[in-house]
């Protein structure tokens, strides 16, 4: 494995868009899970069933 010089490292492109897309998908997934949990809690509270 060869070490890259600073000039060579600055010329590397890519990686940012995939990381941004991954972060956005994770955010959407977390929001969906939170919404699902809140919806389930409301449904259990209204119906009175906890099991």
Per residue in 1-51, pLDDT (tens digit) is 789 888 988 888 777 788 889 999 999 999 999 999 999 999 999 998 876
Q: Taking phi first (over 0 means left), then psi (-120 to 50 degrees means alpha), and beta for anything else, what does residue 14 get?
A: left
* Cβ atoms of residues 37 and 43 within 8 Å: no
Q: What is the pLDDT of residue 51?
A: 67
**CA distances (Å), 34 to each of 28, 31, 37, 40, in order?**
10, 5, 5, 10
Compute the distance between CA of residue 40 and CA of residue 37 in angstroms, rounded to an integer.
5
Q: pTM score, two decimals?
A: 0.60
């Amino acid at each position: 494995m060869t070490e890259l010089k600073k000039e060579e490292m600055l010329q590397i492109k890519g990686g940012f868009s995939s990381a941004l897309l991954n972060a956005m998908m994770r955010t959407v997934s977390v929001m969906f899970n939170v919404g699902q949990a809140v919806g389930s809690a409301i449904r259990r509270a209204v119906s009175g069933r906890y099991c």
